[in-house]
Amino acid sequence: MKTFRVLCGVAAFAPTLPAQVPSDSAIHAIISARVDAGRFAGVAVGVVGRDGACRTVAYGPNAGVQPFDAGTVFEIGSITKTFTTALLADMVKRGDVSLGDPVAKLLPPGTVVSSRDGREITLLDLATQSSGLPSIPTSFTPKDRANPWADYSSQQLYDFLKSYQLTRGIGEKYEYSNVGMGLLGFALALRAGMSYEDLVAARVLKPLRMADTRITLSAALQRRLAPGHAPDGTVVKNWDFTTLAGAGALRSTVNDMLTYIRANADSTSKPLGPTLAMTHGERHAAGSPVVTIGLGWHRLRTPAGNWIVWHNGGTGGYRSFTGYSEKTGEGLVVLANTANSVDDIGFHLLDPSFPLQPVPTKRTEVLLPEATLERYVGTFELAPTFAIAITRESAQLFLQATGQPRFPLFAEKEDEFFLKVVDAQVTFTKDSAGVVTGLVLHQNGAHQPAKKKR
């Protein structure tokens, strides 16, 4: 177990409140169980206490990079959005923009942005995920789906903004939008006259001395980059962003992210505490009675009445979570280089009343003859409108449910298979003659039988 303890800030909360975040050994037990079970290649956790001290726990013996520790680099995905709204707060404070400015005002002259009922999309609408824009632009046609945002151009964005027909009133409803937050970062960079990366470096990263957080990695940072993994454990490409960098382009380390969450948790911290605090307060409902949104940051009310300010992120091979408790001031960072959610770990460590997801059983793959695998091929009906198709390519079975992607299916023994992308298993059933007649899907404690269609 690798643990570190450093001072990362000055305490701003009364020391009489007990800490809620578990000990290093308890954190290690949580993450090592999940890594050893194959859910993650590696997980690194950082905690900032109310006394300003930071501690980190990292576990990833097979993460693909050594050392795997608080200085390992990960893609942080949509946590980048909170840096984008930090830029917005900074530029509002400088008088460069106002929250009520239409985003079209920051774009090149003549740019048409969809409006509705005489109302234009403002910077505030984008920052509170209530612009009415969809999550993914309709003009999204990546050349390489393994690195989907790399070739999305500014012209595609302009064409989308002009042609998209809003389906609801602007500001009416929370709807998480990657293109909306990417547009916000793009527009702010245009107003500042520099690239998004240069702008976020100048206004956020350099003031906070976050030298290991960048979009474009130096050779030294590249050597510390943990390779990303798909949920089934295969290594995948890194994601690159151009036009929509503000939606998810940043890469960072636990050490740097601890600096960032500490600055967010302490509104008095220098030099950015007051600016970052502008992004935290409630500004819009967010689709749940217990969740609201500030500028980018989500706010979750706990059963005890505490508020957790948080954001998560994900790319093709990484998952991330960061947040802090308004009650205790404790902050947290969880970074993983596998595309399985770490949200349950993050929420549980900040507030133990939030349960952890069960540790998946570690399963061992075995090879079965192709002739045996062929017996399982077919369509299995769970309901009149929902079926599972089992197909084969050479020595590999695949499972595809109605309306869902196709995933590899791995044999544990004859008639018993498992998925790596989620914690789910399939048992095939046979008649007395040994002919496959159905299957049972085991997932989330449920056991769903399906008959094979003739």
- Could you say which architecture CATH assigns to the domain 74-350? 3-Layer(aba) Sandwich (3.40)
Residues 6+ apart with CB under 8 A from 223: none
When pLDDT is cut at 50, 70 and 90, the band that residue 20 belongs to is confident
What does the pLDDT read at residue 17? 52
Least confident of 35-44, 248-257, 332-341, 445-454: 445-454
What does the pLDDT read at residue 282? 97
When pLDDT is cut at 50, 70 and 90, the band that residue 8 belongs to is low
Share of the chain above pLDDT 70, in %: 96
* pLDDT tens by residue, 225-282: 999 999 989 999 999 999 999 999 999 999 999 999 999 999 999 999 999 999 999 9
Does the pLDDT at position 9 exceed 50?
no
Does the pLDDT at position 3 exceed 70?
no
> Residue 69 is inside which H or E element, if any?
none
When pLDDT is cut at 50, 70 and 90, the band that residue 7 belongs to is very low
* pLDDT tens by residue, 63-110: 999 999 999 999 999 999 999 999 999 999 999 999 999 999 999 999
Where would I find the H helices in 128-231?
154-163, 178-192, 196-200, 219-223
pTM above 0.85, yes or no: yes
When pLDDT is cut at 50, 70 and 90, the band that residue 51 belongs to is confident
Q: What φ, ψ does residue 220 adopt, rounded to 5°?
A: -65, -40
Mean pLDDT calculated for residue range 341-357 = 95
Does the pLDDT at position 410 exceed 60?
yes
When pLDDT is cut at 50, 70 and 90, the band that residue 294 belongs to is very high
Tokens of 348: 């549980």
Q: Is 119 exposed, middle or buried (0-12, 13-18, 19+ CB in 10 A)?
A: middle
What does the pLDDT read at residue 382? 93
What's the CA dihedral at 205, 254, 331, 322 to 10 degrees? Answer: 80
Separation of alpha carbons 255 and 9, rounded Å: 12
When pLDDT is cut at 50, 70 and 90, the band that residue 422 belongs to is confident
Average pLDDT of the chain? 93
Does the pLDDT at position 11 exceed 50?
no
Domain 370-452, CATH: 2.40.128.50
Helix (H, G, I), strand (E, B) or coil at 262: helix
When pLDDT is cut at 50, 70 and 90, the band that residue 50 belongs to is confident
* pLDDT tens by residue, 102-140: 999 999 999 999 999 999 999 999 999 999 999 999 989
Mean pLDDT calculated for residue range 271-299 = 97
Separation of alpha carbons 381 and 338, rounded Å: 32
Mean pLDDT calculated for residue range 149-174 = 96
Domain ranges across the chain:
74-350, 370-452
Does the pLDDT at position 420 exceed 90?
no
Least confident of 38-42, 188-192, 450-454: 450-454
When pLDDT is cut at 50, 70 and 90, the band that residue 400 belongs to is very high
Handedness of CA 184, 187, 193, 198 (dihedral sign): positive
Q: What is the largest CA-CA distance in the chain?
A: 79
Mean pLDDT calculated for residue range 309-318 = 98
What does the pLDDT read at residue 304? 86
Separation of alpha carbons 406 and 427, rounded Å: 18
Q: Is 422 exposed, middle or buried (0-12, 13-18, 19+ CB in 10 A)?
A: middle
420 or 286, which is more confident: 286
